[in-house]
Amino acid sequence: MATMKLVLVLMMTTIVAVWARDPELTNDFAVPVGMNASEITGDFFTFTGLRNFSAAPNTFGSKKVTQYKPNTLNPPHTHPRRSELIYVMSGHLDVSLIDSANKLYSAHLHEGDLFVFPQGRVHFQINMSKKRSVLAISAFGSSNAGTISLPKNIFGSGIKDEVLLQAFKINSAELMKLKAPFMPTM
């Protein structure tokens, strides 16, 4: 009888573990019924309805706000485990993402705008202003969305030079320049 209970508990644990897993993505993002995927632009991922939001600024609390100083870039990266939602609190921020067909989706966000970066898609943010900083908040659908910074992972990971030279079709001097910021310092 005890053996039967143990088998039953193990079976239920296996079923719960299987149900607890997130589904695999089969597409880069969901395209609404009746919409042609080839007509989608960066506006599809943007919500502008909060641009003129009239709540007092101190009614919104956050533990972490990203400041994009003038002319700074959050380099191309991806979050393999969850999507990212970015909200621009002040300033203007340019954002882009790339789908698996190598299509670039871009948007110029204003204060109050939201943008969704689908899970696993390469994306970046840049403050093109020469004078004004941008404040933005990012939220993820997980406490551990993961971040893979492409420049750091590619040029600072120890991939053999021969592989990078062929992949990027550059010479050794150019490769050393690209790797320099990511080399360990002593």
pTM above 0.85, yes or no: no
Q: Is 71 annotated as a binding residue?
A: no
Q: What is the pLDDT of residue 10?
A: 59
CB count within 10 Å of CB 23 equals 5
CATH classification of 41-146, choosing from 2.60.120.10, 3.80.10.10, 1.20.140.10, 1.10.540.10?
Answer: 2.60.120.10
pLDDT at 124: 97
pLDDT digits (tens, 9 = 90+) for 114-165: 999 999 999 999 999 999 999 999 999 888 889 999 999 999 999 999 999 9
The tens digit of pLDDT for each residue in 12-61 reads: 655 544 444 556 666 788 888 899 988 999 999 998 988 877 654 554 44
Residue extents of the structural domains in the chain = 41-146, 148-185
74 is in an annotated binding site: yes
Least Cα distance to 40 among 52, 31, 49 occurs for 31
Instruction: Say which DSSP state 65 is in.
Output: -
Q: Is a pLDDT exceeding 80 seen at residue 62?
A: no
Q: Is 162 annotated as a binding residue?
A: no
